[in-house]
């Protein structure tokens, strides 16, 4: 848990600045931001997954996801249409996560109590998708293995890995949100991929 939190302090400093500098127009997306219920319905689960794996703490992730959506709704006037709402929200989530992990209260409770991701529970949600029981078992094991491997990455690598392969953001979008050069993002992704593919198996 502490390892999850350790490097978060260094992250996301330019998330808002990078976006603000690149956002100049307004359009259809602002309507999506005007309805808090629609915002929750569309983005809650995706943000919760991202923050859960980013922090490694599902309970904290719920609080952060809630704060992220509230912050986005309350500052929706500042949203410009040059990036997608999804990318904008991810940037806010990274900032809110950093703010939460910085607080003394969090640091105290992280020592006392922390809830970890239950990979067994998580893997039980594997979609049937026409798999036979044996295939489902293999898929579950793979998901559990990958969850564990992602948890061993550094905070920076994990966040960038999730932004790329779960949030399906481009390297440029990741660079904009985190205020990083494309080459730096690429380096982090290479390191993360080396660790993940190396541990998943030779043929990955």
Q: Using CB under 8 A, list all residues that contact another protein.
A: 34, 36-37, 39-41, 44-46, 48-49, 52-53, 58, 62, 66, 69-70, 73-74, 77, 121-123, 125-127, 129, 139, 142-143, 146-147, 164-166, 170-171, 186, 189-190, 193-194, 197, 200-201, 203-204
For the bound state, the minimum distance from the C-beta of residue 204 to another protein, rounded and expressed in Å, comes to 5
How is residue 158 annotated by DSSP? H
For the bound state, the minimum distance from the C-beta of residue 127 to another protein, rounded and expressed in Å, comes to 5
* Of residues 1 and 119, the one with the C-beta less far from another protein: 119
Tokens linked to 79: 């949203």
Task: Give the list of residues 6+ apart from residue 111 with CB closer than 8 angstroms, or none.
Answer: 2
* Of residues 112 and 130, the one with the C-beta less far from another protein: 130
* Of residues 7 and 166, the one with the C-beta less far from another protein: 166
* Of residues 21 and 183, the one with the C-beta less far from another protein: 183
* Of residues 127 and 133, the one with the C-beta less far from another protein: 127
For the bound state, the minimum distance from the C-beta of residue 111 to another protein, rounded and expressed in Å, comes to 25
For the bound state, the minimum distance from the C-beta of residue 70 to another protein, rounded and expressed in Å, comes to 6
For the bound state, the minimum distance from the C-beta of residue 46 to another protein, rounded and expressed in Å, comes to 7
């Amino acid at each position: 848990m502490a390892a999850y939190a350790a490097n978060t302090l260094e992250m996301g400093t330019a998330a808002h600045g990078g976006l603000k500098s690149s956002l100049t127009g307004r359009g259809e997306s602002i309507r999506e931001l005007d309805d808090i219920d629609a915002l929750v319905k569309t983005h809650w689960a995706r943000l919760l997954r991202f923050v859960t794996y980013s922090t490694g703490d599902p309970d904290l992730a719920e609080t952060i996801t809630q704060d992220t959506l509230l912050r986005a709704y309350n500052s929706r006037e500042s949203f410009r249409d040059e990036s997608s709402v999804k990318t904008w929200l991810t940037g806010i989530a990274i900032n809110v996560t950093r703010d939460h992990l910085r607080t003394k209260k969090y640091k105290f409770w992280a020592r006392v109590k922390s809830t970890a991701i239950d990979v067994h529970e998580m893997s039980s949600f594997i979609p049937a998708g026409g798999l036979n029981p044996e295939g489902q078992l293999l898929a579950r094991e793979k998901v559990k293995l990958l969850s564990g491997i992602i948890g061993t990455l550094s905070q920076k690598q994990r966040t960038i890995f999730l932004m790329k392969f779960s949030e399906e953001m481009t390297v440029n979008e990741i660079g904009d949100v985190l205020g990083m050069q494309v080459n730096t993002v690429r380096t982090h992704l290479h390191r993360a991929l080396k660790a993940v593919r190396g541990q998943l198996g030779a043929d990955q």
